[in-house]
Amino acid sequence: MGKHKSRHDQPEERDESYENVLYELQVELVKFQRDLIKHQQKICVVIEGRDGAGKDGTIKRIVEHLSPRDTRVVALGKPSDRDQSSWYFQRFVPHLPSGGEFVLFNRSWYNRAGVEPVMGFCSKDEHQQFLKEAPEFEAMLVRAGIQLIKYYLDISKDEQKERLEARREDPLKQWKISPIDAVAIKKWDGYSEARDLMFQKTSHRVAPWHVVQANSKKKARINVIRHFLTLCDYKHKDKKLLKYDRAIVFPFTDEAIRQDLLAH
């Protein structure tokens, strides 16, 4: 008897309903970008979340049919010695959008609110300083004409464990494996505490956090795109298509913690 294969070992089953809706939303994204370029807007989206939450897949569906000349996905590697001796936000600034550009950060300056303090890559003082300065930094970006939108993809502990195990078994996803993955489950509680503190300190009026329930990858992708497009102004918007599930994408509030809407 062969080894039982989980649902992650097989290619995703063809879901015509999902694919049809995704196609329509990607057409909306093209319309959005055409208007963005015409009016020289600057839009920056931050995608954060637990390891295995589906950040790469969500970003892929957003940018799949957009202009590569006017769209950038920023996924910075380990900071250099020079980066470590510079102002923390300095290495992110060159990647911010200019007029007509759409930039998505696949992880961002918020490494200092999650991975770094949990893994011991920064000091407690550096962590606290970041939580104070991040809203100030983001307020400056917004005053400079950048529309900043922040998403956090949240998944359950069991779902994360299953996805990380599937990642190790999939030869096409070997590039995703990192030493951080190996301790993600062990440090689950630490990441939960860091996430909650990040939300409480850095969800502010000009750049609030939007939480995404991402146990279902397809529902998360569809609803993130719908929600994102509701926040953007562009001509010929199909508002009926953009009705998102408010149980899947919702703004962070302290009530979200008290009502146990976040994975712990």
Each residue's pLDDT tens digit, 28-54 = 999 999 999 999 999 999 999 999 999
What pLDDT sits at residue 132?
98
Q: How confident is the model at residue 252 (pLDDT cuts 50, 70, 90)?
A: very high
What pLDDT sits at residue 133?
98
What pLDDT sits at residue 7?
46
Helix, strand or coil, per DSSP, at residue 142: helix
What pLDDT sits at residue 113?
98
Q: Is the per-residue pLDDT at 178 higher than 80?
A: no
Answer for the pair 212, 49: CB distance below 8 angstroms, yes or no. yes
Q: Two tokens at 250?
A: 């919702």
What pLDDT sits at residue 118?
97
What pLDDT sits at residue 57?
97
Q: Is the per-residue pLDDT at 88 higher than 60?
A: yes
Strands 42-49 and 71-74, how do they pair? unpaired
What pLDDT sits at residue 5?
41
What pLDDT sits at residue 56?
96
**Could you give the domains of the chain?**
39-258 (3.40.50.300)
Q: Is the per-residue pLDDT at 1 higher than 50?
A: no
Q: Is the per-residue pLDDT at 78 higher than 60?
A: yes
The tens digit of pLDDT for each residue in 200-249 reads 999 999 999 999 999 999 999 999 999 999 999 999 999 999 999 999 99
What pLDDT sits at residue 204?
97
Q: Is the per-residue pLDDT at 13 higher than 70?
A: no
**Contacts of range 109-113, beta carbons closer than 8 Å, 24 or more positions apart:** 109/134, 109/137, 110/46, 110/48, 110/134, 110/198, 110/202, 112/88, 113/194, 113/195, 113/197, 113/198, 113/201, 113/202
Q: Which run of H or E residues covers position 168?
A: helix 157-169
- Alpha helices of 64-156 — where are they, by DSSP H? 81-84, 115-119, 124-143
